[in-house]
């Protein structure tokens, strides 16, 4: 068995950098089934859905465990050729990680030659490395996975053909699904799911690899929808099926939401606007009322007495004010980071339409946030030179604690304003929403049973409140 390419020092540093900035930007990153990743020395092609530009590659790099070569020495990345040779931090990151440039026809409006890139990937596989490819061929802000390109199939065919006489040679196709709860928003959650590898050999698989098998496995672990409306409907159904208080991992929540999504997709494809289990118009009306009135489904499910609402308002306000007051020193350090990031993203959004720019917003936030954060740390150390050895550690520690305090502070303020809205809505309007919800809930539970979900989900799900909870998506015509 091949030994694999030794891990370059630059790759180790960049992996640590990716790990650091991702943990700051995203609230939790849940990795499932990392034990399925073939070990170093076994040639492997990693395939994943591609919705978030450089962030997708960063997540894959940090999700592949490095245990002194017992798992994977490195992951050979690929990226569009237009990202290379630029005087930017992003370009430096990509090139330093040993990334292979892929030329895309859409970038040059002409036929392209990727012979050199394919040769580099073949060489990496020969060494027993894992190479990463995004079969969709491009990153895009869209609810559905794009038709897959033929690059993975051609690479697999070439390496199998080259080892046609080696009865022991095996190639693994390792598919991965990346699911962002809110891909471009600070302190959101991410699920990275590795699937069982598809093992190919010259003896058993003389034919070309079928691309649809890759597509099916990747889509089975994330949201793959023809429209944002069906994603909205599926998340609402999942929340009503397994409400606040139900014990559930992020992976289970994604799989339940996807189960509803597949049912709604089937009805959508069959042009069933209404059926025995679900009326999309009722769900759309209820969802619109929740959004317009700024409350969550749980407040309709379990209405609170006026006295209890007032008591909770007081508690939330006091707690949020306390957290904000102790966060003030740290917020002064974060302010340049927030201002720089906001300005950079604001200017970037002007560069193109939503579906050409939103897939790179998280990338811009991470890069500009990192650079401005390092600048704040450096300036802080310089300004406190007499005690620089202390402040070099104190500044990042204070910024991290401030981040966690502010996360809880914003959650408390959100709860405070939600409770105020409940008072403003009044009992008649809330009763009307409760009646609408009861009818919708009955349909959702009937649908859940019809698609083989348990009739009684577990009753202990501790939902973590994040800084941002996205309930709307772009218009389909944007």
pLDDT digits (tens, 9 = 90+) for 167-207: 888 899 999 999 988 877 778 889 999 999 988 887 776 55
Closest to 363 measured CA to CA, from 331, 385, 341: 341
CATH among 3.40.1130.10, 3.40.50.10470, 3.30.450.20, 3.40.50.2300 for 9-219:
3.40.1130.10
| 122-129 average pLDDT score | 89
**pLDDT of 20 higher than 50:** yes
Instruction: For residue 271, count CB atoms less than 10 angstroms from its CB and return exposed for 0-12, middle for 13-18, buried for 19 or more.
Output: exposed
List residues bridging with 180 in a β-sheet.
Answer: 190
Q: CA 217, 271, 263, 288: dihedral to nearest 10 degrees?
A: 110
Q: What is the rounded average pLDDT for all residues in the chain?
A: 82
**Residue 356 — pLDDT band, cuts 50, 70, 90?**
low
pLDDT digits (tens, 9 = 90+) for 408-447: 998 899 889 988 988 888 888 888 888 988 888 888 888 8
pLDDT at position 378 is 94
**pLDDT of 459 higher than 70:** no
pLDDT at position 135 is 86
Query: What are the extents of the domains in the chain?
Result: 9-219, 229-478
**pLDDT of 269 higher than 70:** no
Prediction pTM value: 0.76
- State CA 284 to chain mean position distance: 25
pLDDT at position 318 is 96
Determine contact, residues 235/250, Cβ cutoff 8 Å. Answer: no
| 341-357 average pLDDT score | 76
């Amino acid at each position: 068995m091949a030994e694999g390419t030794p891990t370059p020092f630059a790759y180790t540093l960049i992996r640590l950098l990716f790990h650091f900035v991702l943990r700051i930007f995203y609230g939790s990153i849940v990795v499932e089934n990392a034990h399925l990743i073939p070990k170093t020395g076994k040639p492997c092609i990693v395939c994943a859905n591609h919705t978030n530009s450089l962030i997708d590659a960063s997540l894959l790099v940090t999700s592949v465990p490095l245990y002194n070569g017992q798992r994977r020495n490195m992951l050979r990345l690929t990226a569009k050729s237009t990202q290379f040779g630029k005087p930017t931090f992003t370009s430096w990151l990509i090139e330093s990680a040993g990334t292979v440039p892929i030329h895309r026809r859409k970038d040059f409006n002409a036929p392209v030659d990727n012979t050199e890139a394919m040769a580099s990937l073949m060489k990496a596989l020969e060494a027993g490395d894992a190479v990463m490819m995004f079969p969709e061929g491009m990153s895009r802000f869209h609810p559905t996975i794009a038709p897959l390109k033929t690059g993975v199939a051609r690479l697999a065919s070439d390496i199998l053909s080259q080892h046609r006489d080696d009865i022991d040679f095996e190639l693994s196709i390792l598919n991965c699904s990346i699911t962002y709860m809110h891909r471009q928003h600070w302190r959101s959650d991410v699920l990275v799911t590795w699937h069982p590898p598809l093992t190919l050999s010259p003896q058993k698989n003389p034919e070309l690899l079928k691309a649809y098998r890759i597509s099916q496995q990747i889509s089975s672990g994330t949201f793959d929808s023809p429209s944002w409306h069906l994603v909205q409907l599926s998340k609402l159904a999942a929340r009503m099926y397994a409400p606040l208080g139900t014990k559930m991992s992020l992976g289970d929540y994604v799989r339940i939401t996807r189960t509803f999504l597949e049912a709604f997709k089937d009805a959508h494809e069959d042009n069933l606007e209404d059926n025995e289990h679900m009326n999309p118009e009722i769900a759309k009306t209820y969802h619109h009322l929740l959004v317009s009135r700024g409350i969550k489904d749980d407040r309709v499910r379990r209405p609170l007495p006026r006295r209890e609402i007032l008591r909770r308002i007081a508690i939330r306000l006091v707690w949020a004010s306390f957290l904000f007051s102790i966060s003030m020193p740290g917020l002064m350090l974060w302010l340049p980071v927030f201002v720089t990031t906001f300005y950079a993203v604001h200017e970037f959004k002007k560069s193109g339409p939503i579906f050409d720019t939103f897939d790179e917003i998280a990338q811009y936030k991470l890069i500009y946030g990192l650079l401005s954060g390092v600048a704040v740390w450096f300036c802080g150390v310089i300004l406190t030179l007499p005690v620089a050895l202390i402040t070099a550690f104190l500044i990042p520690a204070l910024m991290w604690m401030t981040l966690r305090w502010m996360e809880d502070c914003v959650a408390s303020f959100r709860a405070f304003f939600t409770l105020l809205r409940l008072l403003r809505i009044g009992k008649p309007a809330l009763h009307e929403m409760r009646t609408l919800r009861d009818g919708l809930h009955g349909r959702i539970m009937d649908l859940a049973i019809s698609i083989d979900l348990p009739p009684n989900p577990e009753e202990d799900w501790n939902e973590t409140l994040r800084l941002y909870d996205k309930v709307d998506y772009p218009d389909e015509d944007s």
